[in-house]
Amino acid sequence: MPKYCMSKDKVIELATYIVVALAMWVVSPLLGKFIDSFYFHYPNVLADSISITLFGACVVLLGTILVAWTVFLFKTKGQGTPNPKLPPKAFVVSGPYRLSRNPMALGGLLTLLGEAIVYILALLIGICHFVWCNRLLPCEVCRRARIEGAFWRAI
């Protein structure tokens, strides 16, 4: 393969990072603001209080750092990616994975929650809660238990 060609796996990996970043930092606030405009009429785009805006920005930053840290661990320690089509080859148990089974999802949830605070998106807060409790956790628990077996259940 020529040096200038990327492998299919590398393209999938880069596309995953780009699509997830766009969805979290561009699409979700815009879509949330659009949907909220039908139910809640706020005169401003951002929260009125600078302290609320700064708090929301800190929550977004915390979530983004957590996501970046977990992706870095998947890449370095796990020799894989967060994409299920290119899963890690090794079980990652260091960093935030010592405390949580899915810190990447927690980071994504914190990012969305921070955006909801910054942009006053009442509906996005409800969607975050629903996705976390009803979709993300049960699916992840079942899938990881099936893949990793008894070792993962014991953690």
Tokens standing for residue 44:
């401003």
Q: Examine the pLDDT at 99 and tell me if it is beyond 70.
A: yes
Instruction: State residue 152's pLDDT score.
Output: 52
Residues 6+ apart with CB under 8 A from 78: 88, 89, 90, 91, 92
* pTM summary value: 0.71
Q: Examine the pLDDT at 1 and tell me if it is beyond 60.
A: no
Instruction: State residue 59's pLDDT score.
Output: 93
